[in-house]
Chain A
Amino acid sequence: MNVPDETPVVAPGYDSGSVTRKITDVVLARPLGRGWLAGFAFAFALLMLLNFAIGWLLIRGVGIWGINIPVAWGFAIVNFVWWIGIGHAGTFISAILLLLHQDWRTSINRFAEAMTLFAVACAGLFPLLHLGRPWVFYWLLPYPDTMGLWPQWRSPLVWDVFAVSTYATVSLMFWYVGLIPDLATMRDRSAPRPLQFIYGVMALGWRGSARHWKRFKMAYLLLAGLATPLVLSVHSVVSLDFAVAIVPGWHSTIFPPYFVAGAIFSGFAMVLTLLIPVRKAYGLQDFITIRHLENCAKIMLATGLMVAHGYITEMFMSWYSDDKFDIYMTLNRMFGPYAPAWWLLMFCNVLVPQALWFKSIRTNPAILFVLALLVNVGMWTERYVIVVTSLHRDFLPSAWGIYHPTRWDWMTLIGSFGLFLSLLFLFLRLLPAISITEMGKLVLDKKESRQQ
Chain B
Amino acid sequence: MNMNTWRSTDELEDRPAFRDWLQREFPPLASEWTNEASRRSFLKIMGASFALAGLNACTRQALEKVVPYVRQPEDLVPGQPLYFASALNLEGYARGILVESHEGRPTKIEGNPEHPASLGASDVFMQAEILALYDPERSKSVMNGLEVSTWDEFLALVVQEREKWKSNGGIGLRLLTGHITSPTLLSQIEVLLQEFPNAKWHVHEPLATKAPQPIYDVGKAEVILAVENDFLGPGPAQLKYARDFASRRRADSGATKFNRLYVAESTPSMTGARADYRYALGPRALQEFGTALATEASLPSWGVPILADLTRNKGRSLILLGDSLSEEVRQFARNWNRPLQIAQPLPSNGDSLSEFMQHVEAGKIETLVILGGNPAYDTPVDFKFAEKLALVPLRIRLGLYEDETSALCQWRLPEAHPLETWSDARAFDGTATIMQPLIEPLYGGKSAHELMAALAGNAVVSGYEIVRQYWHAQHAGDDFEKYWRKSLHDGVVAGSAGGKSSPFAPSVRAAASGSGLELVFRPSPSIRDGRFANNAWLQELPQPFTKITWDNSALISPATAKRLHLSNEDVVDLKYRGRLVRAPVWILPGQADDCVTVHLGYGRTHAGRVGNGVGFDAYALRTSDAPWGGSGLEIVKTGLRHPFATTQHHQSMEGRDQVRVGTLAEFQQHPAAVAQVGEPAPGGDETLYVPIAYKGHAWGMAIDLGACIGCNVCTIACQAENNIPVVGKEEVARGREMHWIRVDNYFEGAPENPRIHFQPVPCMHCENAPCELVCPVGATAHSSEGLNQMVYNRCVGTRYCSNNCPYKVRRFNFLEYDRNPFESAPVLKLLRNPDVTVRTRGVMEKCTYCVQRINRVRIEAEKQNRPIRDGEIIPACAQACPAEAIVFGDINDPQSRVAKFKASPLNYGLLAELNTRPRTTYLAKLLNPNPEAEKT
Contacts and interface: CB of A to CB of B under 8 A. Distances in A.
Interface string B640-656: 00000000111111111
Contact of B796 (A72, A73, A137): A137
Interface in A88-131: 130-131
B654 A68 contact: no
Given A395-B914, A398-B746, A69 B735 contact: yes
B842 A244 contact: no
Contact of B795 (A71, A133, A158, A245): A133
Contacts of A241: 800
A324 interface: yes
Given A136-B796, A157-B776, A324-B655, A402 B735 contact: yes
Interface stretch (A147-155, A368-376, A378-386): A147-155
B842 A139 contact: no
B39 interface: no
A137 B803 CA distance: 19
A72 B799 contact: yes
Contact of B774 (A62, A71, A130, A155): A155
A67 B651 CA distance: 22
Given A152-B778, A244-B773, A395-B656, 18 more contacts: A61-B841, A61-B842, A63-B731, A63-B841, A68-B734, A132-B797, A132-B798, A140-B796, A152-B777, A155-B773, A155-B800, A246-B914, A393-B650, A395-B914, A396-B807, A397-B746, A398-B746, A399-B808
Nearest to B778: A152
B662 to A, nearest CB: 21
Interface string B796-814: 1111101110111011111
A400 interface: yes
Interface string B808-843: 101111111000000000000000000000001111
A181 B807 CA distance: 58
Main secondary structure of the interface of A (DSSP, over half): loop
Name which of B746, B794, B808 has the most chain A CB atoms within 10 A of its CB. B808
Given A72-B803, A133-B796, A140 B814 contact: no
Contact of A133 (B653, B658, B842, B914): B842
A63 B736 contact: yes
A154 B774 CA distance: 7
A69 B775 contact: no
B736 A133 contact: no
B797 A70 contact: no
The bracket for how many chain A residues form the interface is 35 or more
Contacts of B656: 324-325, 395-397
A132 B795 CA distance: 8
Given A149-B778, A156-B774, A157-B798, A395 B842 contact: no
A246 B806 contact: yes
A158 B813 contact: no
Contacts of A39: none
Interface in B708-759: 731, 734-736, 742, 744-746, 759
Contact of A396 (B774, B808, B812): B808
A227 interface: no
Contacts of B806: 246, 394-396
A68 B804 CA distance: 14
A308 interface: no
A247 interface: yes
Given A69-B802, A397-B650, A399-B808, A62 B911 contact: no
Contacts of B320: none
Nearest to B915: A246
A67 B814 contact: yes
Nearest to B808: A399
B814 A139 contact: no
Contacts of B773: 154-155, 244
B778 A69 contact: no
Interface string B893-936: 00000000000000000110010000000000000000000000
A191 B492 CA distance: 99
Contacts of A67: 799, 814
Contacts of B911: 395-396
B774 A70 contact: no
- What are the 4 closest A-B residue pairs judged by CB atoms, nearest first? A132-B797, A132-B842, A68-B735, A63-B814
B841 A132 contact: yes
B883 interface: no
B613 interface: no
Contacts of B812: 69, 72, 132
8 contacts: A67-B799, A69-B736, A69-B811, A132-B842, A157-B798, A395-B914, A397-B653, A401-B735
Contacts of A64: 815
B281 interface: no
Contacts of A398: 648, 650-651, 658, 742, 744-746, 759, 761
B778 A151 contact: yes
A391 interface: yes
A62 B794 CA distance: 17
Name which of B648, B759, B914 has the most chain A CB atoms within 10 A of its CB. B648
A399 B795 contact: no
Contacts of B734: 66, 68
A73 B777 CA distance: 18
B498 interface: no
A330 to B, nearest CB: 14
B777 A400 contact: no
B815 A246 contact: no
A130 B798 CA distance: 7
Nearest to A71: B735
Contacts of A397: 650-654, 656, 658, 746
A61 B814 contact: yes
Contact of A155 (B759, B775, B808): B775
